[in-house]
Amino acid sequence: MPDPSRIRFEVETRLPTVHGGFRVRAYTDTTTGDLHLAIISGEPRPGALVRLHSECLTGEAFGSLKCECGPQLDAALDVIAEHGGVVMYLRGHEGRGIGLLNKLRAYRLQEDGLDTVDANLALGLPADAREYAAAASALADLGLDRVRLLTNNPAKSESLEANGIEVLERVPLEVGFNEVNEGYMRTKAARMGHLLDAFGPAGDVAEPGEAAGTDPA
């Protein structure tokens, strides 16, 4: 079961956006001190669409082409605005949990040819330091003990399940591919277990326009 003491509810308020109207509920992570935001559309019931989104300043605020976080967040907000659900925006997850400065250091190493995994390891850091116990607790607070998860990353489903949230279905979110992040996406598929139709085991690369959409049906 999710641990209710892992989070502390702080405030709920309305947030109109270009994607649609949402409610935002803020939760302090009592272990890390980070403030996570549940961005809610409609009245989510068990089985609702959920995106666990790791914050990414460079991708979301600056439109960085090195990752696909910005397009994924936009697409997730569009999908839940239309179908109802929750985007759980997780702070402290910059650079898969290594922080903004270390992410920039890893980018610097990537300029010398290291891929995203080896750059983290070269810095003495894990390839992925994220965990989702607080997200599970916040979902439980919303009454969502069962979800349909918008993700390409099976590790997120497994982590939610390990923390007491049932994942009924994985809904792909394949957006944001470009010529800059092709190597990054290929590494995520080859070395981090991400399920990406455009970067399958055979190494085939689809045109960005051929990438799967976000149809949650």
Residues of this chain that interact with Zn ion (CB under 5 A) are 56, 59, 67, 69
Closest distance of CB 214 from Zn ion, Å: 17
**Do residues 34 and 68 make contact, with C-beta atoms less than 8 angstroms apart?**
no
Q: Looking at beta carbons only, is 126 or 143 nearer to Zn ion?
A: 126
Q: Looking at beta carbons only, is 146 or 192 nearer to Zn ion?
A: 192
Give, for 151, the enclosing helix (H) or strand (E): none
Q: Looking at beta carbons only, is 65 or 114 nearer to Zn ion?
A: 65
Catalytic residue among 128, 146, 148, 191: 128
Closest distance of CB 70 from Zn ion, Å: 7
| Amino acid identity at 78 | D
The residues pairing with 88 across neighbouring beta strands, listed in sequence order, are 38, 52
Task: Strand 85-90: give its sheet, edge to edge.
Answer: 7-17, 20-29, 35-41, 85-90, 48-54, 146-150, 166-171
Q: How far apart are CA 62 and CA 178, in angstroms?
A: 16
Q: Does the annotation count 128 as an active-site position?
A: yes
Closest distance of CB 97 from Zn ion, Å: 12
Query: Which of the residues are catalytic?
Result: 128, 130
